[in-house]
Amino acid sequence: MRETAPDEVVQGVEAWAAHAASVADQPVAEPDDMAWADAVIMGCGTRYGHITSQLQAFIDTLGPPWQEGKFDDGNPYGVSVVADSGGLDDTAHAALDHLVTRVLRVARILES
């Protein structure tokens, strides 16, 4: 996922800046990747019982391709949530809720 924090914030935290530098040459998921993929597996940490802002921002970009019918094939999906504390079940539920209502074919069927 693309980083959503301003660069000056990232650069102000040594470990965060080091991580950003280590993944700078890695590919970043784009909405069109969801259409051609045979399956989708998303993973994130938990933020007070919700998905990370980076994953949320990515999911928010999926509206236009979904409306164009690019996700009508109903590709399999999965969600993995990792945390040292509670909130895992709430975060997984939040992630699935976003995927079901914005990406999966179920939403398209309910529309008709």
pLDDT digit string (tens) for 37-51? 777 777 777 767 677
Q: 95: helix, coil or strand?
A: helix
What is the pLDDT at residue 14? 97
Amino acid at 7: D
> Domain 30-111 is in which class?
alpha beta
For the whole prediction, is pTM greater than 0.75?
no
Helix 53-60 vs helix 88-102: crossing angle, to nearest 10: 10
Burial 94-106 (b: 16+ CB within 10 A, else e): bbeebbeebbbee
Going from N- to C-terminal start, the domains of the chain cover 30-111
Residue given tokens 């950003």 in the structure block: 20
Which portions of the chain are predicted below pLDDT 70?
Answer: 47, 49, 72-112
Q: Which stretch of DSSP H or E encloses residue 41? A: strand 40-45
